[in-house]
Structure 1
């Protein structure tokens, strides 16, 4: 038998065998007898008054089993708010549009047929009439309320201020003040598997739901509330998930409609979003406009920072209204800024609703702060790394209370920066840059980013049970969407029990088996879910020691656990033997405070002055996520998030025309980085454990989206000798070509 597993071992993922051999089971793979397929009739207008949705011809299409618009339903379910219901009270989101549409792609009706192809025939037969109203895409303009998406209600759904207003005299007396405007384009989530749900009516009036989701218990409660079903009659099961990145944490209108259709037809109904829907009608990420002002003394020490953020939260504020506040609260970055004042607004726009996208508000803050720090360094003619060194929160200042209301738990930001600079061979690249500027050659730039982010929110359930056959079950309220929970969670439990990780089976993502749970988002799985399982395993060991003490007649303090065997007074027993006598199980609920991972990124780029193309020559990432349970898993997560960060910096944007219609309808139009575009990436780490947990893990997996965009944009700005604000993401060849000139 294999020996005990340990936290910190780079063990291969147990999930990969089935996935790589085609034995994975996603929602689209499920074979449920009698299952019909749903197709949605969607608005081709971004903003307008709905005059008619005629489904008469659709109902006559052979193979169509049922069609419904809002007019066919006595009570159209409303989409529940993800966070604050008060924000949505005067801005209801019907699952099928009633009198008005507020983004292109909004569902107007559903067609259910025996297969997808017949359903699309029925969809194409539907006739829709909508009187177009003006579109409004820019959040700053939308905030003027010249075009209101909800009559009589402001487009500004939420306005938050954090910190304190900065005395005008600070700006007047500062040696240098820099101001900058930044824009984060809307992004598509483009997970490998788009959204998908299958609903089967059960006897007794309940439903079983299979959904590609991040938070099954939230989905269960939302469906029960919207459909007026007892919570105990809604079971949500999450099978294999092909990525999520925040876009599958919510309860979308399509989910409510599919459940309603299944109940009306009395048979299973499935909806699998195709790529065109995912690009045109699915939720968006990022989408912020920012203004930043930073003051410093002549030595480059920060005096004050102000930030104003407007987020385009789309036609409905239900899923993204909290994101600009997260950005505002992270306005300090990694720096001890004495005075900080930030205002954040969530503003309705005629675009698909905003929701979290890998990093969820933290990348936006890091970009604004880090690009502004570089602009300040340029004004002072100082090395950007040196400016950062002079302003870091020092290690002896933790825990550090920021002016914006966060408490940073721990960190050594300077150590991460120095390791990144050394690993990147910063001095050599600076010398090469000087040589090219003196003698000619393609512009070369070096960009730096030092970031801090927040990870882990809310509590989580965990349980560990021993079985008579020598195996263990670890039950978690989290829900893997590809992160490797079956490997890393088992590793945590196995290390505590002193057994091989293959003896631990991880159970999650089924509300009929897991009594409660929060889910997986905000880099919370290992930090909070892992902590819950660690504590449950520790409690199980304590109970096993008590029982072993009773069996052997020895004091509990004399009972030791070694390699899964309890020893006391020359006698031994195992948890399996104890479980054969009566169940041996422990469960806990934990709720530690948020953690604050950090790191430093260095990018080296070359810009072709004739074509405007950017070539990333080297990218070094130093991340500190506390205790690393499985380095192999963390490195894979980091590499993937770096790819998405490069996508934002160089390629991706969900562009809408002046009428609010999306221009990207396929992956030929929406550019994604592939392996061919990935540069040389070097990953390093420092380790500052979370002081609030036994495990010490902080969030990992989103860091690349936080650190990569500012590092790359700062590098291109350095190459072209312009301020970062002169460049807009994505850095298209045209953008860089014009900056060269």
Structure 2
């Protein structure tokens, strides 16, 4: 039973009538479950001031802080009886003013979400403050303000969990990206030994970051399964998901960029007020990723980014595909176009003048990032050739001179992203085991939610061992099968787990060679591995297959923890957009996405990941965004009629190309490939619209570019005065 208000003091919850509904097994509020623990927060946040005094209850105890927050839980023999029970729960809430944006929550007279505590949960910075003389002496300084709206991850499958008591153990089936994290969190919260909790992740229909946490519903389901001694299941429906699943993005940004007369960047300043949602969770740290990636692909001598993570009456903000990098890219790339217009320099030429040179890597940014490798000019050049840049520039000029033609614009966005995760998460556990029948079992701590692990990982192991792909079986997403693991997030599947499998396969080959050498009485360096078996290097009769070696020498399994370094994929997006100023509509005619994710292990998988994330970038630019009513409740009564996603009909022709700069951090050479599209596409599309309308003030175009926003921008004072 969920709150219908965004903010208020809870006076009472009465579950009496719900318990009398036929088929209802029980109904409880927080008062009925005094030993129900709060939601566990990640270890690295739990000791921080952000969390102190801001506990996230699994069921509301005294104060509702976001719409849809759970007030009571009803368990029924089936979903229908449980929902009938929920309808009979009565709650009394005294409404309080709600704040749903960082700027509203930061006002001096704003209500505090936690009495006696500031709405600012975290402050941070990257880089160092810029000396005032840099701004004073610069030939040109441009300033702008941007809003990165709150987005919904909207996976195909909503959240799911089934908790099954089995003797002294609890088995949990869930759609999740990090099974071992969920197991640890449940064990800690329920005060049970870690080996008494098993988490199994079956096929999962999408996640995009939204299924990597411990949620109130998960904790309540597991708690009640133990209390009742029987299986308990929760399957989130779509409207429920839209109301209370995690949010992405949600930043208010101001920027300042200085350059000399030739367009060489001198200084960049980025100020971020980020929407963390109602409770401090991982979302409070996300804007620090934005701050650290502020410089993008450019050599900027002086950079300073400051962050405030602000609590609001919305569901918690959490990593959503791209997680901090789309926000950084949009800020710098939109401002680069603004600078180009101010200086009268073509935006492509301006970028080329400021790219980090390909011979400067590894490159230390002023914000503390160490870019591993890159060739940013090559990616942009490929994007422009693929688009036919000069042809479209000519068409843009022709339309500008034709009063009856719809204006057309070209937008460019170059990006650098971070893949693999942050320090402390750049490792994975796994094993490779050979069997007597010649088959191989590969295990790892990841869990696929659409990244093609089932085909990619067996193929990688098969290639390393020289055996058929059909002989390799992958097991993942089961904490009993693989006792330790990290998970799937931050575009780390190929870069980290893939490198781990290559490493483990190499260890198995070495072990096989040592066993064969001992059996044959040969030095190890005289035993070779080829075609899935061991062979005497001298070409003698000694040779055996992997299966026969296991039969002769016993079980053969190697397991290890493999660690790599953070990687920095990059690329360039170019968009062509046609705008109807009278209707405010935007028609993206062409979109080129060039990505460099290092060594491509599976072209089909990478293509699908790039296309999928690009479509999500299109959604952010033109369609998606949560709107709220006057009391802070999301306007979502009609589901996806109120929150628009781009459908097949709205997707323009997308041409995906690749440059290949190997990752120097692993022998595999792969970088992350799952998030590039939603990082590069939004700024390219918005820049194309600004170019078409010749918008001098970027603040007129805030995403999503709805017809209303575009129509108003086209009629604002100064429209059409931007310099080509």
- TM-score > 0.5, shorter chain as reference: yes
| Distance in 1 separating the partners of 2:8 and 2:461 | 55
Deviation (angstroms), 1:553: 3.0
Q: Secondary structure at the match of 2:239?
A: helix
User: Aligned residue for 2:348?
Assistant: 385
1:670 aligns with 2:611: no
2:720 is matched with: none
- Please say if residues 36 and 223 of structure 2, whose CA atoms lie closer than 8 Å, have aligned partners that are also in contact: no
SS at match of 1:200: strand
Q: Residue 634 in 1 paired to residue 606 in 2?
A: yes
- Structure 2: how far apart are the matches of 1:138 and 1:668? 23
Task: Show the counterpart of 1:717.
Answer: 690
How many Å separate the matches in 1 of 2:214 and 2:627? Answer: 25
Find the partner of 1:657 among 629, 633, 644. Answer: 629
Whether contact under 8 Å (2:182, 2:213) holds in the other structure is: yes
Q: Which residue of 2 is the match for residue 32 of structure 1?
A: none
**Correspondence 1:704 to 2:668:** no
3-state secondary structure, aligned to 2:129:
coil
**Which residue pairs with 1:115 in the alignment?**
78
So what's the TM-score if we normalise by structure 1? 0.93
Structure 1 position 141, deviation (Å): 2.9
Matched, 1:200 2:164: yes
Residue of 137, 152, 166 corresponding to 2:100 = 137
Structure 1 residue 725 displacement after superposition: 3.1
The residue aligned with 2:470 is 502
Give the alignment partner of residue 292 of structure 1, picking from 225, 249, 255: 255
2:180 match: secondary structure: helix
C-alpha contact (below 8 Å) 1:491/1:629 kept by paired residues: no
Q: Find the partner of 2:482 among 514, 523, 543.
A: 514
> In 1, distance between residues paired with 2:483 and 2:330?
40
Q: Which moved more, 1:259-268 or 1:552-561?
A: 552-561
Q: Does 1:617 align with 2:589?
A: yes
Moved more, 426-435 or 604-613: 604-613
Q: Output one character per residue of 1:310-342: Cα deviation in whole Å (capped at 9) or x when no partner.
A: 111111011311101111011010111100001
Q: Deviations over 1:123-167 (max 9, x none)?
A: 111101100111011212313453110001111111001110001
2:547 counterpart (572, 576, 586)? 576
Displacement, 1:490? 1.1
Aligned residue among 412, 415, 427 for 1:448: 412
Give distance in 2, aligned partners of 1:328 and 1:517.
Answer: 29
| Counterpart for residue 736 of structure 1 | 710
Distance in 2, Cα, partners of 1:730 & 1:403: 31
Residues 1:54 and 2:18 are matched in the alignment:
no
Q: Which runs of 5+ in 2 are unaligned?
A: 716-724
Residue in 2 that maps onto 1:597: 569
C-alpha displacement of 1:491: 1.6
Contact 2:700-2:709 within 8 A present in 1 as well: no
CA distance in structure 1 between the partners assigned to 2:116 and 2:288 by the alignment: 25
Equivalent pair of 1:258/1:271 in contact (CA under 8 Å): yes
Which residue in 2 is equivalent to 1:162? 126
State the 1:609 CA deviation. Answer: 2.3
Match of 2:38 among 78, 92, 107: 78
CA distance, structure 2, for counterparts of residue 427 and residue 502 of structure 1: 49
Q: 1:109-129 deviations in whole A, cap 9, x for unaligned? A: 100101111111111111011
Aligned counterpart, 1:357: 320
The answer (yes or no) to whether the contact 1:371–1:725 under 8 Å persists in 2 is no
DSSP 3-state at the match of 2:97: coil
Which runs of 5 or more residues in structure 1 are unaligned?
1-40
Residue of structure 2 in register with 1:22 after alignment: none
Confirm or deny that 1:348 pairs with 2:311: yes
1:199-348 alignment, distance < 5 Å: 199-204=163-168, 206-348=169-311
CA contact (8 A) 2:157 2:205 kept: yes
Distance across 1 between alignment mates of 2:469 and 2:142: 54
Q: Which residue of 2 aligns with 1:153?
A: 117
Cα distance per residue 1:385-444 (max 9 Å; x no partner): 111001111111111111111100000001100000110101100000001111231110
> Could you tell me how far apart the structure 1 residues matched to 2:518 and 2:171 are?
45
Q: 1:80 touches 1:318 (CA, 8 Å); kept in 2? A: no
Q: In structure 1, what is the equivalent of residue 721 of structure 2?
A: none
SS at match of 1:42: coil
- CA distance in structure 2 between the partners assigned to 1:247 and 1:344 by the alignment: 23
Partners of 2:10 and 2:573 lie apart in 1 by 49
Give yes or no for contact 1:479–1:519 (8 Å, CA) kept in 2: yes
**1:539-564 deviation line (CA, Å, top 9, x unaligned):** 10011111122233333222222221
Partner of 2:719: none
Distance in 2, Cα, partners of 1:611 & 1:412: 40
Specify the SS of the correspondent of 1:88: coil
Q: In 2, Cα distance between the equivalents of 1:74 and 1:565?
A: 61
Question: Shift in Å at residue 283 of structure 1?
Answer: 1.3
1:615-634 Cα shifts (integer Å, max 9, x gaps): 11111000000111100001
Instruction: Tell me the residue number matched to 2:137.
Output: 173
Per the alignment, in what secondary structure is the counterpart of residue 300 of structure 1? coil
CA displacement, residues 655-686 of structure 1 (integer Å, 9 cap, x when unaligned): 11231101023111110111111110101001
1:184 aligns with 2:148: yes
Correspondence 1:380-459 to 2 at 5 A: 380-440=343-403, 441-457=405-421, 458=425, 459=427
Name whichever of 657-666 and 479-488 sits farther off: 657-666
- The alignment partner of 1:390 has SS state of helix
Q: Do 2:148 and 2:252's aligned partners in 1 also have CA atoms closer than 8 Å? A: yes
SS in structure 1 of the partner of residue 354 of structure 2: coil
CA–CA distance in structure 2, aligned partners of residues 498 and 243 of structure 1: 32
- How many pairs does the alignment contain? 700
**What is the SS of the residue equivalent to 1:628?**
coil
* Structure 2 CA distance for aligned equivalents of residues 658 and 558 of structure 1: 78
The answer for the alignment partner of 1:564 in structure 2 is 532
Give the aligned partner of residue 45 of structure 1. 5
Contact (CA 8 Å) 1:213, 1:238: kept in 2 or not? yes
Distance in 2 (alpha carbons) for counterparts of 1:374 and 1:487: 41
Which residue of structure 2 aligns with residue 688 of structure 1? 661
Instruction: Quote the residue 1:467 is aligned against.
Output: 435
- Is the 2:430–2:482 contact (alpha carbons within 8 Å) kept by the matching residues of 1? no
Q: State the Cα distance separating 1:591 from its structure 2 match.
A: 1.8
Match of 1:36 in 2: none
Whether contact under 8 Å (2:179, 2:201) holds in the other structure is yes
**Structure 2 Cα separation of the partners of residues 212 and 192 of structure 1:** 12
Deviations 1:231-261 (A, max 9, x none): 1100000011000001100000000011111
Shift of 1:495: 1.1
